[in-house]
Chains A and B, each alone.
Chain A
Amino acid sequence: MSEPLATLASMREALDAGAASSVDLVEGCLARARAAQDALHAFAGLREEGARAEAAAADARRASGARRSPLDGLPVAIKDNMVQTGEPTTCASRILEGFVSPYAATVVERLERAGAIPIGRTNMDEFAMGSSTEHSVYGAARNPWDRARTPGGSSGGSAAAVAAGLVPGALGSDTGGSIRQPASLSGVVGLKPTYGRVSRWGLVAFASSLDQIGVMAHTAADCAWLLEAIAGHDPRDSTSLPEPVPRYGETLDGDVSGLVLGLPREYFVEEGVDPEVLSTVRAAVSELERAGAKLREVSLPHTRYAVATYYLIATAEASSNLARYDGVRYGHRAAGVRDLTEMYHRTRSEGFGAEVKRRIVLGTYVLSAGYYDAYYRKAQQVRTLLRRDFEEAFRGCDAIATPTTPETAFRIGSKTADPLTMYLSDVYTVSANLAGIPGISVPCGFAQGLPVGLQLLGRVLDEATLLRIADAFQARTDHHARRPAEAP
């Protein structure tokens, strides 16, 4: 078996041992990212000069014994919906063409304060609306395990970049599964924290009551470092939570004995799921049982309503958030217009892609006069019931285990013609966003050569338990160490 891909931990060891400099690591990532770009479309843009200068500065800090954090000098990638000072942010949309950010997102500031080095912006579905990274002005991102297939989405560029070894860790955002689903399809770990655990200042808003920034890497241990660096209260995001940030890395002791894992019966039905995915996830759960976890069946009775609830709430909020793209202050503006109304219409029609327009129209419809109670308010009420399902289930277990996705990576183009089919690929992930709870996807095996993800859902602010279970699972398995076909 070939050498596993570099992780943040192995890169740090190389730095500590003097076997590599930060400049070496960053140059290596940039070279691999450039070489793989035509094949994978993982990046929206590389940040070559800035990254090189920061790597040199990190090497100087290390030489003088002034290392900022365990992440100092390590390369990372940032999804193209989080702003970086002086860099473009486009959300893979034509409407943000040419936009250069005058400020940095809190997560970017915090990574930089820790010494991590953003090497580029990763590809995504336009405005994070999609499950395949096909709806992008940069072209469809491709799965390193099979280029004919999607890496998932909307954080598909981050997932593909980590899976192919272009960069050891990346930030993504997750509104309905956009970190966990691509992590599952691409064979990496992806963590969506509790709503409010990570500041969203500087994240381009999609659906404000659901959006959350999270992390992607090869291992739970790497995710723990990244989360520790970006989490915590931020006065600039009034929804960020004031609770102190645990030292996530220190809780990873490989011990899951006595932990109770809930298996929701609604997620382990044969209907609508690839049988090989289901059997792979069941085998992973058995592995955790052998490691000492106790299994208990639980019930989440409103699960079948989650996708409908999600699409009503997400589109309604998106239609409101995306009203700001009007061609006045930044981004694309239609040429040759006669008046303001025409400028709005033409700018938005030229700037937004088909999926974004579809969701704006649906969201505007469900919020429009006469429909609000029947759709939006109804969905908010069902959301309450979905939350209560989890509260009830967590009375009897410490974490919930499910498949992350109903199938492995699907072929590019196979779902774009039918929006509803695409939306149903989020069936296992949307509930965590609706309930605000944390979720992680960890590689748990392969079905016909394609990665399968185990999803673990936790109580509010209990990311530590999810990371601990994922880490213990990885200590007993080597799925995460397998190299995909397209790793350079």
Chain B
Amino acid sequence: MPRITRAEVERVAVLARLSVSDEEADRLAVELDELLEYVETLRQVDTRDVEPTSHVIPLATPMREDRAVPGIDPELALANAPERQGTAFVVPKVIDGEDGG
């Protein structure tokens, strides 16, 4: 019984801001299902009271002096812009309600 349906792939693709064709969604559903079945093996591991590792080397939060240093030149920062105006990146309009977040 596949746990991943095409609709599930489409839902996740929207979260990741990817468009997938019907064909891609069908293929991804099969592949993800296979991968998720493989990672199911982790269920066999007893992890009660095991701390999760998010960072391998214990590090204190490094602190530095709060001192102003030169940042990147705005012209350089904008040099790769697909579209720019003055010192701003130009993007298409944001339609109300569609991308309000």
Contacts and interface: CB of A to CB of B under 8 A. Distances in A.
Interface string A322-348: 010011111111000111111111101
Interface string B61-101: 11010000000110011011111000001011111001100
Contact of B53 (A331, A344, A362, A387): A387
Contacts of A290: none
Given A331-B80, A340-B92, A436-B56, A319 B16 contact: yes
A265 interface: no
Contacts of B24: 357
Given A100-B80, A362-B35, 16 more contacts: A103-B76, A194-B57, A195-B56, A238-B61, A332-B82, A340-B91, A357-B24, A357-B28, A361-B32, A362-B32, A364-B16, A381-B51, A384-B50, A385-B47, A419-B34, A436-B56
Given A235-B64, A302-B45, A358-B28, A333 B53 contact: no
Interface residues of A, number: 69
Contacts of A342: 92
B80 A361 contact: no
Given A102-B79, A305-B45, A361-B13, A380 B57 contact: no
B37 to A, nearest CB: 9
A102 B77 contact: yes
Nearest to A433: B56
B12 interface: yes
Contact of B80 (A330, A357, A381, A384): A330
A394 interface: no
Interface in A93-108: 98-100, 102-103
A476 interface: no
A381 B50 contact: yes
B71 to A, nearest CB: 11
A98 B32 CA distance: 32
Nearest to A341: B99
Interface of B: 4, 8-9, 12-13, 15-20, 24, 28, 31-32, 34-35, 38-39, 41-43, 45, 47, 50-57, 59, 61-62, 64, 72-73, 76-77, 79-83, 89, 91-95, 98-99
A252 B91 CA distance: 56
Given A345-B19, A349-B19, A382 B55 contact: no
Contacts of B17: 323, 326, 341, 344-345, 348
B12 A364 contact: yes
Contacts of B76: 102-103
B15 A364 contact: yes
B52 A377 contact: yes
Interface in A113-145: none
